Amino acid sequence: MIRPLLPDFIYAPPDVPLQVVYEDKHLVVVDKPAGLLSVPGKLEGRSDCMISRLQAARWDALLVHRLDCDTSGVMIFARTKQAQGFLGQEFEKRRARKTYIARVKGDVQGESGRIDLPMGSDWPNRPRQMVDHENGRPAQTDWQVIGRAPGETRVRLSPLTGRSHQLRVHMQALGHVILGDPIYDVAGASGWPRLMLHAETLGLHHPDSGVWTDFAVPCPF
């Protein structure tokens, strides 16, 4: 299928203070703003990112996972190699639990459900991902309606897997694209100040004590 080209990506990271949600000698949790890359981009002019800003204040911060540039919310970093390995396993073994808040286009039918659609890269249209029943990797997302307004629905999304752009592709496949999405709703994104997707909570075992620990950042929209 031939799709319209994506608009040129102009990287203009927000000039906002670093927001640390929690920290100890093993980890640090931040509220990543929308519009900021998690790690440096490959092209010139994209060195400003969440990890570089954090390391300027916490030199020992180590990457554990990523959030899309356009997504805001809870992001965790390790402060030792041991903690990095432990936290990485929490994500790899799917022990970590995440919830997101999204505002999506249209009136979602029903109150909750599960999207179970395999995903893969849409190579001719990168960075797009797509539902791929032949070669895609398994991907599951639970959803729950938490609010309704004219022309849109507010949902809480719980990814059971961690595919790139999983929530964005799954909601598009459900027929309810996330509002403000510059990749999956090119025509409609211009009417919104940002992608309406926020990482609300993250729960996992603490790398030192092993105790289950939850972190949360209130949704800004």
3-state secondary structure the chain: CCCCCCCCCCCCCCCCCCCEEEECCCEEEEEECCCCCCCCCCCCCCCCCHHHHHHHHCCCCEECCCCCCCCEEEEEEECCHHHHHHHHHHHHCCCCEEEEEEEEECCCCCCEEEEECCEEECHHHCCCEEECCCCCECCEEEEEEEEEECCEEEEEEEECCCCCCHHHHHHHHHCCCECCCCCCCCCCHHHCCCCCEEEEEEEEECCCCCCEEEEECCCCC
**Residue 220 or 45, more confident:** 220
Q: What percent of the chain has pLDDT over 90?
A: 90
Q: What percent of the chain has pLDDT over 70?
A: 96
Check whether 6 has a pLDDT greater than 60.
no
68 is catalytic: yes
pLDDT on residue 54: 98
Check whether 5 has a pLDDT greater than 60.
no
Class of domain 20-216: alpha beta
pLDDT on residue 129: 97
pLDDT on residue 9: 75
Of the candidates 31, 68, 70, 181, the residue annotated as catalytic is: 68
Check whether 64 has a pLDDT greater than 50.
yes
